[in-house]
Structure 1
Amino acid sequence: MAVQGFNRRTFLGAASATGLTLAAGGTLTACGSGAKANAGAEASAKLKLPAYVAANVPQPDLPGNAQGLDAGYLRYPKNLVQRSGAKPGDGEPITALTETFTTMPPAMRRNAYWQELNRRVGSEFRMTIVNGLGEESVYRSKFNALIAGGELPDLMWFPPNQGLKNIPQLLDAKFHDLTEYLSGDAVKEYPNLANIPSYAWQTAVVNGRIAGYAVPYGRMGQVYVANEDFWKPVGGLEFDSAQDFFEKAKDLLDTKRKKWVLEPAYVNHMMQFATWYGLQNKWQEKDGKLTYMYETDEYLAGLEFAIKCQKAELFYPDPNLRTTLEKMGGGFLGLHVQSFPGFLNDSAMYDWPEKVVVPFAAEKGMQPSWHYGYGSVGFTAINNKVPKKRVKTLLKVLDFLSAPMGTETRRFLDNGIEGKHWDLSKDGDVILNDKGNAEVLTTRQAINFFGNAPQSLYLPGKPDVTRGIHETEVELIKIAQADASTGFFSDTYAGKGQSSKTELEESVKDIIAGREPLSSFKSDILPKWRRTAGDAMRREYETAMAKGKK
């Protein structure tokens, strides 16, 4: 299937609009001096990104575009494009470090899907798969151990949110610069890589070089997901204003029947409220000066509204709730915040009526907003001990793994072997069987982290749901904003950006919960964030952006 997610919600959220800036923005690019960082940002701004050439595949039922709208398929496409030419591999094993957040796949010798993948590629994939389901630091520990030991795999996945340090130096010392292979029209040698949108490639640029293959991921950021049935008693999910939402939510609150309206994720909800007031996406630039979303009236308005909801007891009372989806599906919660890929996965798996609430104007005359994500889930770098003549071979293999929906290769990559892993339903949908669930789903997740296709919408047996999700994407894009700092470097962000964000948001939780006064945000919390990281990030981004325009 084409809904390609990664079963751990915290990771899904990390690549979304409210998650971390990816490689080009700084999280993966911790650097030594500010001067070096700014020089790298200037070079990055002048770099020619890979050309975008849409894949030649059967027309989808619902169109996509290069801005992030996902193509949609109401049934699995027919007349699939067949792969021609030699196998991309060279007969030599391909080693790779990757991660999974689900059950580990069966070993290759007992895994018909993995064996068939090797046959089609023409090389044996020898994957070191780290299971990060229980502990976020597991992958980082394995990554660092390999770096320290010096025995690196051919392909190494650089995740966007796992605290890796000194990445520019590491890339310079240990990995190939892929700029000459992928910049501009050079990428056209690999048609499926050329089908990856520019916004995704932007996240794989580090200090003026294309550091790796940008692993594509949906650009849709976090969304407000409702159980439609929950809201039927008040007329459904149409709201004229924030106050209208509040009054309807109060009407639905029924603590005696253990029905609350909002999951207890205070900051996530507050961010959704703030978009009703028009909250910007992280950094925005005006006349060469940058403002962060924390510094805006819209952010404060969202915070005030969250306090109002907490006082009205709209939030579920246990902040450690671990059964959100069960309570959503059972009609005991009305709304939760989800990454868009996570929402797609849930829409495919569950039958309760999920629907995204598109941001609406908090008050008459206001313009609501919605925040794009970054469109990638990190990048895959190639070990510089790989002979230069083999770099193109590995890029051809990554091109194979990036085959889009509408190709026979993608059908295999997502579903395995017909008759063994999947069967066609009477309506023409591709349905995984038990062996497919055991082999394909588990193996594919590990592969998808270092090689994947741009996201498309296909929910087997749910054409109406697919159409509704596509319609929602169209509406979200109308009010979408991107982060102005994407593609620029901040040394401070790399070192302190996430910790300062976490500290501020913990304080915001205290305000919403009533443990601290609202006044403390402007008097203490915001000034501390500025001193700790905000003002330094601002200076570094402004300098980098100014140099990039010269």
Structure 2
Amino acid sequence: MDRRSLFKAAGVGAFGLATGSVLGACGGGSGGDVSNAGKDLAAWPSYVPFAGPPPDAPGDESTGVQALYRDYPADLVRSVQETVGDGSDVTAMVVSYGAPPKALEKNRYWQAINQALNVNLKVVVVPDPEYAQKMTTLMASGSDLPDIVMFTNLNLPRRAEFIRRSCADLSDLLAGDAVKDYPNLANLPTYAWKGMGRIGGRIYGVPLERPMPANSLFVNRDMLNAAGAPVNWDKDQYLAAMAEVSTGNHWGIGWYKTLFGGLGGITYHAGSFGAPNTWSSSGGGFTHTATTGEFQEALAVMRQLADAGSQHPDSATASSTDMQNFFYNGTVASMSNGFGSLALQTLTQIDDRFGLDLARPYTPDATPWQSSGTFGFATFKKAAPDRIRMLLRICDYLSAPFGTTEYELANYGVEGVHFTKDDGVVRTTKLYDTENSVLLPVRYIGTAPTVLHLPGHPDVAQAAYDWEKAVLPRSVANPANGLQSTTLANKGAQLDQILGDGIAAITFGRKPVSAWPGIVSDWKKAGGDQLAEELAAEARAAA
């Protein structure tokens, strides 16, 4: 778990409410018409699934359930047969959620990546807190771009215009069957390409896939078991469990600030009550989830939790990193975070202090929210066709799926140096702590479709698989994923601020729940109604 929770899962607004335009806009100047309405749309890349090692339990494309691997595959395969790079320097700018990487000459992981790619990869890491400002400055400066520029799902102003003006149009190389020249990119599921979206009908990036579950409620199963909380609970049992564990220096919930003042956790409660995932689309129109009665019911529950003292007292001011530490050490029994934080790094932080699990919704009419299917995407500076093809080969290599030698290098490093393998378990070495794909974030240049595999923790992976089987068949997507909107590009932050501040004010008692309709009215007048109209028009064009 890390600050990725700000941007992942249901979206990157205050609490995942204003997402939908993954390619919302970027930079000044003229990028032309970025809408897809009335355009000749490039075909989505063909999906050619990788035939890798058989899982212990299969995935389900129709629901988003991931394949389960309790053990690491004994026999790996190669997915890249040809030489990737041409020996040249390749610059890449990516977001970072860790310390700066060790220098290349002292970093055996970085050296191994360069050798495998046959390039001198120069990675410029932008710390997460500085990301928005750095990217805005880069786009406004007009200076020479890195070869690869990674965008998170953060809705930066005028981003799509910048991308269309300054980045390479990849449609002819990726649309339809053309993607088959890059088999690992062809293995990316269609939902990831759709979640990234088109700009002006064209494809300008390579998506960084994320699984279908959106922000999820991670729970300390030991604390909940001690409180008598069942796995399948109703609302009253949930409220009672949160109150029961909130004694002494322990609390039921760890909320935290998110972008624009919202609170992490609203997605779990809104989905539990059956609120639509950010937007609903019916009869050609778009309706925002904040305008629904189910969403207001979710707010009422969050207020009940606060009134009962079930939330950590620092919830109004704590960062996600602060609250994650409270969750790791058992101070709080639950916290909301992106599903992608179900990872070895999280379990290492917990260090077997408790059993990690995911909470199921607490009403029978629940509509758990799906993610956009991406964390972001990689774009390329305009260049000669041969260089663009080489950059695509780099993304292809780093997107190699689980069960391949390329995946092993990108995710674990060099065997015998950064990890060892024993009886189906990958065990990382001390060196891995300072040389890995978090500190050198090549995972944000290309990334494999995720599977459920947690080295040394097969029972946690099995519990997550069981949770997906129980929850995902009822989950709903955000119909605005991948759509363009001028209002979202120009006013998305302002609209998020209105709703985010309203949630915080109601949750912590500064306003009554009955104030919510007025807050929604302010949001509509500030541009929410116009946003709904624009998304509806885009949806009709993309149909």
Q: Which one is further off, 481-490 or 528-537? A: 481-490
User: Is residue 371 from structure 1 mapped to residue 365 from structure 2 by the alignment?
Assistant: no
Could you tell which deviates more after superposition, 386-395 or 260-269?
260-269
Check conservation: 2:171, 2:203, Cα contact below 8 A: yes
Change in 2 beyond 3 A, CA 1:252/1:168:
closer
1:483 — aligned with what? 478
Q: Which residue of structure 1 lines up, in the alignment, with residue 358 of structure 2?
A: 356
User: Which consecutive residues of structure 2, in runs of 5 or more, have no partner in the other structure?
Assistant: 257-261
TM-score by length of 2: 0.90
Query: Which deviates more, 232-241 or 118-127?
Result: 232-241
The answer on whether the counterparts of 1:253 and 1:261 sit within 8 Å (CA) in structure 2 is yes
Give the corresponding residue for 2:259.
none
Map Cα deviations across residues 181-237 of structure 1 (whole Å, 9 max, x no partner): 101111111110001111111214212000111122233211111111212233233
Counterparts of 1:360 and 1:439 in 2: how far apart (Å)?
Answer: 41
Task: Name the stretch that deviates more: 510-519 or 528-537.
Answer: 510-519
Q: Which residue of 2 aligns with 1:516?
A: 511
Partner of 1:260 in structure 2? Answer: 251
Which residue identity is paired with 1:102? G
Residue 185 of structure 1, aligned match among 161, 177, 197: 177
1:463 alignment partner in structure 2: 458
Structure-2 change in CA distance of 1:382 and 1:324 (3 Å): closer
Counterparts of residues 75-474 of structure 1 (less than 5 Å): 75-83=71-79, 85-132=81-128, 134-140=129-135, 143-144=138-139, 147-149=141-143, 151-161=144-154, 163-202=155-194, 203-254=196-247, 257-265=248-256, 267-318=263-314, 319-321=316-318, 323-344=322-343, 345-350=345-350, 351=352, 352-361=354-363, 366-384=364-382, 386-425=383-422, 427-444=423-440, 446-474=441-469
- The answer to whether 1:545 aligns with 2:539 is yes
Show CA shifts across 1:436-480 (max 9, x none).
222224454x21112111112221111111111111122221111
Q: CA deviation at 1:391?
A: 1.8
What residue identity is the alignment partner of 2:9? S
1:209–1:328 distance in 2 versus 1, CA, 3 Å: same
Per-residue deviation, residues 51-106 of structure 1 (Å, max 9, x unmatched) = 11111211122322445322222111111113563311122222222221111111
RMSD: 2.6
State the aligned residue count: 526
Q: Which residue of 1 aligns with 2:70?
A: 74
Contact 1:223 1:356 in 2 (8 A): yes
Q: Distance in 1 between matches of 2:505 and 2:177?
A: 52
Q: Distance in 1 between matches of 2:95 and 2:298?
A: 36
Question: With structure 1 as the length reference, what TM-score do the two structures score?
Answer: 0.89
Q: Distance in 1 between matches of 2:469 and 2:39?
A: 34
**Identity between Structure 1 and Structure 2 (%):** 25
Per the alignment, do residues 140 and 391 of structure 1 end up closer, same or farther by CA in structure 2, a change over 3 Å counting?
closer
Distance 1:32-1:26 versus aligned 2 partners, 3 A rule:
farther
Change beyond 3 A, Cα 1:401–1:296: same
Aligned to 1:533: 527
The one-character-per-residue Cα deviations of 1:317-336 (angstroms, maximum 9, x if unpaired) are: 23334643444344432221
> In the aligned structure 2, how far is the partner of 1:211 from the partner of 1:292?
28
Distance 2:331 2:119 in 1: 51
Q: What is the distance in 2 between the residues matched to 1:518 and 1:490?
A: 30
SS of equivalent residue, structure 2 residue 371: coil
Separation in structure 2 between the aligned mates of residue 317 and residue 171 of structure 1, nearest angstrom:
42
Match of 2:223, SS state, is helix
Residue 498 of structure 2 corresponds to residue 503 of structure 1 = yes
Moved more, 370-379 or 14-23: 14-23
SS of aligned partner of 2:464: helix
After TM superposition, give the deviation of residue 37 of structure 1 in Å.
5.0
Asked if the contact 1:31–1:491 (Cα under 8 Å) also holds between the matched residues in 2, the reply is no
Partner letter of residue 201 of structure 1? Answer: W
The verdict on how the C-alpha distance between 1:207 and 1:464 changes in structure 2, with shifts beyond 3 A counting, is same
Q: Distance in 2 between matches of 1:324 and 1:349?
A: 13
Larger helix percent: 1
Moved more, 79-88 or 274-283: 79-88
CA distance in 1, matches of 2:412, 2:310: 42
Secondary structure at the counterpart of residue 264 of structure 2? helix
Q: SS where residue 43 of structure 1 aligns?
A: coil
C-alpha separation in 2, matches of 1:173 and 1:81: 39
Post-superposition shift, 1:23?
7.8
